[in-house]
Amino acid sequence: MAADVKGDNEPYDEINITPMLDLAYVLLIIFIIMTTAAVQGINVNLPKASKTPSIGESTTRAVTITAQGQIYLDTYPVTLQELESRLASARAADPQLPVVLKGDHTIQYQLVVDVLDLLARIDITKVGLVTQKLVK
């Protein structure tokens, strides 16, 4: 028993690195979450809907219309003419090209109709309108 007491007072020869690894994993997870949260595209206030249908995400292109009326293809600002030419070339590469349209809830409806007409002209039929889920 005296040997056990002596063993408790002796210094450790090893360092326990488990708490340091736990901290490293937590910091890595926080970094990954913050990085992916920062790369979400253009921020717009979406209209509310009760159900949000989804379409495949293989090569989906996103068209965003901000509250100021600026149009973006993915995260790049474009005019209607540039949007038409870029989507036409993307559709030539993929005939089943899906497009999602995100419009700020304060924009004039005519701008959304103009973009939808443009999509119909270049024969893009897989179109989704992005909304926020209605919170009860």
Whether residue 30 sits in one domain with residue 6: yes
Domain count, the chain: 2
pTM of the model: 0.56
Beta-strand relationship, 61-65 and 71-73: antiparallel
Q: CATH number of the domain at 100, please.
A: 3.30.420.270
Whether residue 55 sits in one domain with residue 31: no
Walk across the sheet containing 98-103 and list its strands: 76-78, 71-73, 61-65, 98-103, 126-129
The pLDDT of residue 38 is: 58
Asked if residue 98 is part of any domain, the answer here is yes
Whether residue 73 sits in one domain with residue 55: yes
Asked if residue 43 is part of any domain, the answer here is no
Closest by alpha carbon to 62, among 100, 89, 88, 105?
Answer: 100
Q: 60: domain range? A: 48-133
DSSP per-residue letters across 55-72: ---SS-EEEEE-TT--EE
Task: State how far the Cα of 129 lies from the Cα of 66, in Å rounded to an integer.
Answer: 14
Task: State how far the Cα of 41 lies from the Cα of 48, in Å rounded to an integer.
Answer: 19
- pLDDT level of residue 110 (50, 70, 90 thresholds): confident
pLDDT in tens, 31-47: 888 776 655 566 777 77
Whether residue 117 sits in one domain with residue 55: yes
pLDDT in tens, 3-31: 545 556 777 777 888 888 899 999 999 88
Asked if residue 56 is part of any domain, the answer here is yes
Task: State how far the Cα of 73 lies from the Cα of 77, in Å rounded to an integer.
Answer: 6
The pLDDT of residue 55 is: 46
Asked if residue 66 is part of any domain, the answer here is yes
Asked if residue 126 is part of any domain, the answer here is yes
DSSP category for residue 40? S
Whether residue 90 sits in one domain with residue 58: yes
pLDDT in tens, 62-93: 898 888 888 898 888 899 899 889 998 888 88
Whether residue 54 sits in one domain with residue 33: no
